[in-house]
Amino acid sequence: MNKFWRAVFNRRMLICIFTGFASGMPLYVLIQLVPWWLRDENLSLAAIGGFALIGLPYTWKFIWAPLVDRYWIKIFGRRRTWMLITQIGLIPAIAFLPQLSPSTQIWSIAALCGLISFLSATQDISLDAYRRELLPDEELGFGTSVHVNAYRISGLIPGGLSLILWDHMPSQVVFPITAAFMFIGIALTLTIKEPETEAMAPRTLHEAVIDPFKEFFLRRGYRQALYILAFIFLYKLGDNLAVALSTPFYYDLGFSGTEVGTVAKLVGLWSAIIGGVIGGLVMIAIGINRALWIFGFVQIVSILGFALLARIGDNIWMLGVAHGFEYLGVGLGTAAIGAFMARESSKAYTATQFALFTALAAVPRTLANSTTGLLVEAMGWETFFYFCTLMAIPGMLLLAKIAPWNAPTESGLTKSTD
């Protein structure tokens, strides 16, 4: 039991809180504050929707991740170098946005938002690699959940505080105030030490580009490596499909905007946070493999709550239950798959391999956003959610291959004699 609490309450977990906050803040600026600003400037919804493309660096970050693995400033270290560079770059980039006019300089705004997205994605590469090298395997689950929850809570700055300030201050003041919260990330970078690792850093750019992929396939074997990649793609596919159009789903059922905003969204945020915390604690006790099985089953069952809501219709209590249960599953599943991807990353090539895994995990979300509408129109809501449930099963079936329940290398503390 002492090992359990030492894994929960230590300096490493405190660092994970700050890495999560620094990672999430610039993303939420792009997806919450910038659209609000553009709409307030009377930009069309079509034009605002096109700004979703600025998120492409988050999907393609594995392309330049080898550079993060290969080059750094010696005085700061391999991970802290890129953390500091990107954080210093994000502050003026965010603060300068309102100096541009949406009516006459929309392409300049798009370019600057693209730069913010690139810097943010690059910061994620270095933060993910740092966290993987910092945490021992038995703490990966809880550390990942702490990081993810701090990531979500950081959205309360641009999505909450900044919008409140918007009613009292001009945008030329709101954006710099929001940007100033990135100093939290800089303070983190300057006060932590580079994680100790026995792995050798790549000595050439060729090693940084080729060796991460070569090492992964040789370490796992080609068949097992393909199973792992397929699992990362499929594990949250059903979940991503189910929540992709949740807001239009509630609208079609007849719920008001106030009901959706105060019940569904509030319940969803805290359910996901609670799920992440519970998931992290459970992974310390039973290990990542078993957590993937249990949380995957919860994800499947939670999708059926949406199907039941589709059948019942406009019922405020069922809305809260269905949405809360679904996002509890989201929190659990996200913590588990995040810890699994970290564990599968070699400490010698953490930045590149982790970036590849997270990019692959993001593909189903993009797929869901682009195809879900067509599926709903063809099937209807209730049948669609049954389809989502079926799509969650293939990932579960792969668990027998890549994360057996009784794997001898599993690191849960339940096997400890302490």
| Contact by Cβ (8 Å): 143, 17 | no
Sketch the domain layout of the chain as residue ranges: 1-197, 199-412
Cα pseudo-dihedral 91, 97, 98, 103, rounded to 10: 180
Kindly give the parts of the chain with pLDDT less than 50.
Answer: 411, 414-418
Phi and psi at residue 338, to the nearest 5°: -65, -45
| Contact by Cβ (8 Å): 71, 100 | no
Start-to-end CA distance of the chain, whole Å, equals 7
pLDDT on residue 45: 63
- Count Cα atoms within 13 angstroms, Cβ side, for 302: 30
199-412: which CATH topology? Growth Hormone; Chain: A; (1.20.1250)
Closest CA to 353 of 363, 365, 362, 344: 344
CA dist 273 and 286 (Å) reads: 20
Mind listing the pLDDT tens digit for each residue in 385-411?
A: 999 999 999 999 999 999 998 876 554
Are 1-197 and 199-412 equal in CATH topology?
Answer: yes
What is the sign of the dihedral through the CA atoms of 354, 188, 197 and 10?
Answer: negative
pLDDT on residue 53: 75
Q: What percent of the chain has pLDDT over 90?
A: 35
Phi and psi at residue 254, to the nearest 5°: 100, 10
Q: At which residue do the structure tokens 């270290």 appear?
A: 77
pLDDT on residue 191: 94
Closest CA to 405 of 286, 300, 298: 286
**Exposed e or buried b per residue across 243-266, where buried means at least 16 C-beta atoms within 10 angstroms of its C-beta:** bbbbeebbeebebeeeebeebbee
1-197: which CATH topology? Growth Hormone; Chain: A; (1.20.1250)
CA dist 206 and 270 (Å) reads: 44
pLDDT on residue 2: 66
pLDDT on residue 416: 37
- Count Cα atoms within 13 angstroms, Cβ side, for 219: 15
CA dist 84 and 14 (Å) reads: 19
pLDDT on residue 230: 94
| Contact by Cβ (8 Å): 284, 139 | yes
- Count Cα atoms within 13 angstroms, Cβ side, for 180: 7
Number of Cβ within a 10 Å radius of residue 177: 14
pLDDT on residue 366: 66
SS (H, E, C) the chain: CHHHHHHHCCHHHHHHHHHHHHHHHHHHHHHHHHHHHHHHCCCCHHHHHHHHHHHHHHHHHHHCHHHHHHCCCCCCCHHHHHHHHHHHHHHHHHHHHHHCCCCCCHHHHHHHHHHHHHHHHHHHHHHHHHHHHHCCHHHHHHHHHHHHHHHHHCCHHHHHHHHHHHCCCCHHHHHHHHHHCCHHHHHHHHHCCCCCCCCCCCCCHHHHHHHHHHHHHHHHCHHHHHHHHHHHHHCCHHHHHHHCCHHHHHHHHCCCHHHHHHHHHHHHHHHHHHHHHHHHHHHHHHCHHHHHHHHHHHHHHHHHHHHHHHHHCCCHHHHHHHHHHHHHHHHHHHHHHHHHHHHHCCCCCHHHHHHHHHHHHHHHHHHHHHHHHHHHHHHCHHHHHHHHHHHCHHHHHCHHHHCCCCCCCCCCHHHCCC
Structure tokens at 354: 């982790």
